């Protein structure tokens, strides 16, 4: 997570820095280097000569450095692993991880077992980073190095989306683990090695699964479920999974020259985490004496060339398990199985497989794709190039975040959920606003209804991977419209239908946001105690369906306090902003339709008028846990059977970081309204990377 890039001029109005909201966490754990504090300068990054960087990278790949010799004279394998371990930390549950931010340079990711020796890979790239300065972020450089490595060894690539913004430290990866923050948000309940969603990986410190097999046991079929589940948690299907594993392992080798290991790691030895302990003399721990994962060998006989030999080797030999020189279980070929095109018999001692590779033979779907890719290089070309681009780009969010030009920048891909362009002439938003104001007069409940619709539409936005938000108005479609939290919103959309029909160029997305904004403004004016100055900028457009938004479904957490803090972080909100938004007007009838017994607001204040009453009620009552008739957990006020709060409300009172803001708002309505205006504007515009079309604001 990093500085906001939404282009709406009001996107950060009145709000505290929208950057990483949890920089205060475990700072001592993080390594901040001066080099990492480079600013993101969008115009510089956009003007980067990507072809020049690629030319430098291609030269670099085959120019051996004494500090860390290249296997077979080519750094390609190492660079692919660097990029994939940077991007592969992404998980779709909360959008955390990925190479946008390049947090692999910092703890905790830096110290993951799977990132052993990647400090050397990054060091090798420093001269190129320095040559291009701020125009080339670490995130972009790492992804481009992996992508150029693939291309330079003869494989097809789809292209490169630039625009990653480097984080200044590793705080945004704390929830990826292993840390107390991860245990709070995403505990591994079944035990390390069998971790499930919310975690992306099955094993802490690894990217996906244990290469040696489930819990280190070399039984290939037992790895299938973990591979499918962990690749699935990153949004990859079976064909993409097989193409990525076999396409990636077409290149490079594993390193496990001896059993004594790589060294103490960054936590114990920050300046030289993995000196290497194999061998002796000047090449100790390097070149043929490298220990990285503890496995030894390559998957093909031509590991610096693009081939589908990986798949032909898997199918073309009988494989037996044995302990390699690094002391880990791995697999070696014995007799031929007759498939043509596998490695020559004389080369047999030179190739190996991991238990995780062998698993591709143990599942009917994986085997199907293994066979296809073994016979059809074109099919592999297409599947691998697309899956690699998705792996590298998935955490970047919408296509409009990609900088660069064709042909290097490919057209929008399905996973980028591209929206149609806005019409050349947008609706007259002042006229729309007047119509919405007319609707507000017809029913006092409409103010709460419209604000809730806009809030539910926009609050799916995730600062972690730039997914979600109200642009596209996908709340009209399944799966979003079916979420229990969106119950009753179809009726609110119906209320707005006449306005939508009246303005042919008005999108649902703009109407939803404008209706909520107008309602909130009106409700504050009606309260007579202050006003909120809310600007609205149009130009949102509508998606044709709700595809791809299932990952945005409200997450469940171990308790309401964790949920409160983590939801704010994922949305990119500070606690102060999150608390202000909790004080938004709320109708009792709507709360009841969601299954609660009622609301905190027993009068018009809070239901159709916007002031700071919520905070007074929250702080001045004692809340006792209860269950509604429909079984919802809620709290009722001691001594007042009409007042109810949700667990997320009471969590504000119980959490010191949040309660202090509630106290401040309870005392000062003007301060509250100002904070609410800032937070509202930020959330409503968080997904406007495209910027308002023609700067049309009302």
Residues noted as catalytic: 85
Span near ligand HEM by CB under 6 A; candidates 35-43, 48-56, 77-85, 467-475: 77-85
Give the integer Cα–Cα distance in Å for 270 and 623. Answer: 48
Contact between 292 and ligand HEM per CB under 6 A? yes
According to DSSP, residue 544 is labeled S
Contacting residue, 198, 205, 211, 422, with ligand HEM by CB under 6 A: 211
Kindly give the interhelix angle for 613-620 and 647-654, rounded to the nearest 10 degrees. Answer: 70
Is 249 an interacting residue with respect to ligand HEM (CB under 6 A)? yes
- Applying CB under 6 A, among 80, 224, 514, 618 the residue interacting with ligand HEM is 80
Structure tokens at 569: 């972080």
Q: Kindly give, in sequence order, each residue whose CB lies less than 8 Å from that of residue 286, ignoring residues fewer than 6 positions away.
A: 68, 69, 276
Q: 395 or 687, CB closer to ligand HEM?
A: 395
| Binding flag, residue 248, ligand HEM (CB under 6 A) | yes
Q: At what angle do helices 656-667 and 647-654 cross, to 10 degrees?
A: 90
Q: For residue 645, what are the β-bridge partners?
A: 635
Alpha carbon distance 441, 91 (integer Å): 45
* Piece of 207-215, 439-447, 568-576, 593-601 that binds ligand HEM (CB under 6 A): 207-215
From the list 29-37, 71-79, 573-581, 681-689, the region that binds ligand HEM by CB under 6 A is 71-79
- Tell me whether residue 374 or residue 471 sits nearer to ligand HEM (CB atom): 374
Instruction: Find the shortest distance in angstroms from Cβ 77 to ligand HEM.
Output: 2
Nearer to ligand HEM, 203 or 567 (CB): 203
HEC letters along 583-632: CCCCCHHHHHHCCCCCCCCCCCECCCECCCHHHHHHHHCCEEEEECCCCC
Q: Is 84 in the site for ligand HEM (CB under 6 A)?
A: yes
- Shortest distance, position 152 Cβ to ligand HEM, whole Å: 13
Q: Which token pair is 544?
A: 């044709």
**Minimum CB separation from ligand HEM for residue 177, in Å?**
18
Compute CA distances 205 → 96, 177, 199, whole Å: 15, 8, 11
637 binds ligand HEM (CB under 6 A): no
Residue 530, Ramachandran bin (φ over 0: left; ψ between -120 and 50: alpha; else beta): left
Distance of closest approach, residue 339 Cβ to ligand HEM, in angstroms: 22
Decide if 652 contacts 582 (C-beta within 8 A).
Answer: yes
Stretch that binds ligand HEM, among 183-191, 249-257, 315-323, 614-622 (CB under 6 A): 249-257
- Phi then psi dihedrals of residue 635, to 5 deg: -130, 140
Nearest to 610, CA basis, from 538, 516, 536, 685: 516
Give, as ranges, the residues between 217 and 246 that touch ligand HEM (CB under 6 A): 227, 244-245
For residue 263, state whether it binds ligand HEM (rule: CB under 6 A): no
The reply to whether 543 sits near ligand HEM by the rule CB under 6 A is no
Q: Shortest approach of ligand HEM to residue 415 CB, angstroms?
A: 16
Residue 575 binding ligand HEM, by CB under 6 A: no
> How far is the CA of 183 from the CAs of 106, 199, 233, 515, in angstroms?
19, 10, 18, 40
By beta-carbon proximity to ligand HEM, the closer residue of 19 and 154 is 154
Tell whether residue 255 is a contact of ligand HEM (CB under 6 A).
Answer: yes
Q: What gap in Å lies between CA 586 and CA 256, rounded to an integer?
A: 61
Question: Rounded to whole angstroms, how far apart are CA atoms 555 and 536?
Answer: 29
Residue 667 has φ and ψ, to the nearest 5°, of -80, -30
- 78 belongs to the binding site for ligand HEM (CB under 6 A): yes
- In the complex, what is the shortest distance from the CB of residue 144 to ligand HEM, in angstroms, rounded to a whole number? 15
Nearest distance in Å: CB 209, ligand HEM: 5
Q: For residue 208, state whether it binds ligand HEM (rule: CB under 6 A).
A: yes
Query: Taking CB under 6 A as the rule, does residue 295 contact ligand HEM?
Result: yes
Tokens representing 573 are 């909100």
Nearer to ligand HEM, 122 or 253 (CB): 253
193 near ligand HEM, rule: CB under 6 A: no
262 interacts with ligand HEM by CB under 6 A? no
The count of other CB atoms within 10 Å of the CB of residue 214 is: 24
Contact 198, 133 (CB under 8 A): no
Stretch that binds ligand HEM, among 203-211, 431-439, 516-524, 527-535 (CB under 6 A): 203-211
Report the residue number, 111 or 209, with the smaller CB distance to ligand HEM. Answer: 209
> Which positions lie near ligand HEM, rule CB under 6 A?
71, 77-78, 80-81, 84, 208-209, 211, 227, 244-245, 247-249, 251-255, 292-293, 295, 354, 356
């Amino acid at each position: 997570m990093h500085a906001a890039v939404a282009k709406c001029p009001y996107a950060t109005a009145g709000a505290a820095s929208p950057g990483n909201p949890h920089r205060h966490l475990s700072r001592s754990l993080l390594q901040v280097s001066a080099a990492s504090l480079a600013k993101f300068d969008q115009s510089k990054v956009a003007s980067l000569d990507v072809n020049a960087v690629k030319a430098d990278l291609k030269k670099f790949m085959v120019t051996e450095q004494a500090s860390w010799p290249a296997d077979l004279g080519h750094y390609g394998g190492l660079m692919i692993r660097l990029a994939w371990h940077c991007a592969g930390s992404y998980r779709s549950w909360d959008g955390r991880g990925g190479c946008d931010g390049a947090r692999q340079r910092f703890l905790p990711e830096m110290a993951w077992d799977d990132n052993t020796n990647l400090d050397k890979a990054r060091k090798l790239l420093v001269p190129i980073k320095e040559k291009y300065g701020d125009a080339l972020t670490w995130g972009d450089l790492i992804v481009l190095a992996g992508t150029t490595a693939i291309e330079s060894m003869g494989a097809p690539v789809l292209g490169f989306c630039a625009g990653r913004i480097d984080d200044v430290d590793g705080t945004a990866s704390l929830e990826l683990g292993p840390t107390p923050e991860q245990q709070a948000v995403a505990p591994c309940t079944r035990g390390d090695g069998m971790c499930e969603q919310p975690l992306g990986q099955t094993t802490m410190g690894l990217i996906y699964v244990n290469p040696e097999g489930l819990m280190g046991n070399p039984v290939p079929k037992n790895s299938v479920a973990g591979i499918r589940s962990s690749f699935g948690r990153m949004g990859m299907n079976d064909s993409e999974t097989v193409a990525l594993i076999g396409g990636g392992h077409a290149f490079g080798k594993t390193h496990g020259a001896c059993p004594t290991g790589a060294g103490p790691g960054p936590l114990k030895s920050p300046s030289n985490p993995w000196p290497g302990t194999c061998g002796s003399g000047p090449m100790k721990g390097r070149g043929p004496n490298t220990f990285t994962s503890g496995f030894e060998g390559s998957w093909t006989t031509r590991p610096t060339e693009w081939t589908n030999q990986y798949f032909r080797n898997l199918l073309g030999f009988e494989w037996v398990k044995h302990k390699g020189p690094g002391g880990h279980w791995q697999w070696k070929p014995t007799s031929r199985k007759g498939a043509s095109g596998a490695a020559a018999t004389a080369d047999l001692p030179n190739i190996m497989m991991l238990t995780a590779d062998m698993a591709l033979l143990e599942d009917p779907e994986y085997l199907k794709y293994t066979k296809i890719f073994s016979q059809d290089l074109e099919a592999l070309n297409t599947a691998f190039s697309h899956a690699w681009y998705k792996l590298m780009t998935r955490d970047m969010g919408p296509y409009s975040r990609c900088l660069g030009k064709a042909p290097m920048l490919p057209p929008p891909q399905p996973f980028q959920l591209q929206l149609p362009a806005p019409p050349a002439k947008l609706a007259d938003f002042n006229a729309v606003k007047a119509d919405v104001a007319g609707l507000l007069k017809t029913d006092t409940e409409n103010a709460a209804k419209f604000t809730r619709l806009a809030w539910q539409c926009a609050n799916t936005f995730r600062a972690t991977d730039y997914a979600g938000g109200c642009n596209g108005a996908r709340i009209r479609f399944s799966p979003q419209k079916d979420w229990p939290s969106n119950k009753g919103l179809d009726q609110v959309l119906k209320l707005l239908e006449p306005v939508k029909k009246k303005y042919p160029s008005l999108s649902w997305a703009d109407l939803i946001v404008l209706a909520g904004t107008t309602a909130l403004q009106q409700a504050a004016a009606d309260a007579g105690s202050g006003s909120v100055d809310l600007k609205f900028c149009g130009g949102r457009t509508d998606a044709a369906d709700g595809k791809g938004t299932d990952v945005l479904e409200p997450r469940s957490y171990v308790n309401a306090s964790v949920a409160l803090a983590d939801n704010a972080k994922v949305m990119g909100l500070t606690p102060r902003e999150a608390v202000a938004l909790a004080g938004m007007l709320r109708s009792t009838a709507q709360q009841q339709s969601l299954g609660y017994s009622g609301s905190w607001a027993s009068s018009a204040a809070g239901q159709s008028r916007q002031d700071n009453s919520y905070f007074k009620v929250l702080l001045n009552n004692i809340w006792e846990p209860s269950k509604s008739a429909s079984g919802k957990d809620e709290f009722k006020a001691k001594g007042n059977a009409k007042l109810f709060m949700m667990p997320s409300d009471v969590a504000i009172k119980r959490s010191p970081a949040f309660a202090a803001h509630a106290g401040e708002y309870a005392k000062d309505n003007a301060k509250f309204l100002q904070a609410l205006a800032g937070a509202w504007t930020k959330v409503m515009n968080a997904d406007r990377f495209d910027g308002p079309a023609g700067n049309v604001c009302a």
